[in-house]
Amino acid sequence: EPEVTQTPSHQVTQMGQEVILRCVPISNHLYFYWYRQILGQKVEFLVSFYNNEISEKSEIFDDQFSVERPDGSNFTLKIRSTKLEDSAMYFCARKTGDGNTIYFGEGSWLTVV
């Protein structure tokens, strides 16, 4: 099965600006996730989204972050007032119906300067 599609592939933003990362599922799935990976570090869970609601969020996912599925298809991660330490690769992921596979998108590389 194809993975999800993410945009943009790379974004450079000024510190303090807002960023929106988008995830477009190939088909209609209920479970979505956002993960991030700071350069040279491990992949970290941010938030899970089930049936158009946040299911669980990590300590990283504070008030600076939000997720939504505004039009029933695109799944977005918004980062308000970006900080230098937000520079990372952000991955959208989806779960297959049987739960046996979780596919990752190609990622959005965010650089905060």
Partner 1 sequence: GQNIDQPTEMTATEGAIVQINCTYQTSGFNGLFWYQQHAGEAPTFLSYNVLDGLEEKGRFSSFLSRSKGYSYLLLKELQMKDSASYLCARGANDYKLSFGAGTTVTVRA
User: The tokens of 62 are what?
Assistant: 């504070």
Least distance from partner 1 to the Cβ atom of residue 81, Å: 26
Residue 34 carries which side chain, given as an amino acid letter? W
Q: Does 50 bind partner 1 (CB under 8 A)?
A: yes
Least distance from partner 1 to the Cβ atom of residue 106, Å: 5
Task: Please pick, from the candidates 15, 26, 38, 102, the single residue that binds partner 1 as defined by CB under 8 A.
Answer: 102
Q: Does 68 bind partner 1 (CB under 8 A)?
A: no
Residues of span 29-48 touching partner 1 by CB under 8 A: 31, 33, 35, 41-45, 48
> Would you say 81 or 101 has its CB closer to partner 1?
101
Strands 10-13 and 108-112: what pairing?
A: parallel
Measure the CA angle with vertex 29, ends 70 and 111; round to 5°: 60
d(CA 106, CA 113): 22
Q: Does 100 bind partner 1 (CB under 8 A)?
A: yes
Count of CB atoms situated within 10 Å of the CB of 101: 10
Residue 72 carries which side chain, given as an amino acid letter? G
* Contacts with partner 1, residue ranges (CB under 8 A): 3, 31, 33, 35, 41-45, 48, 50, 55-56, 91, 95, 99-107
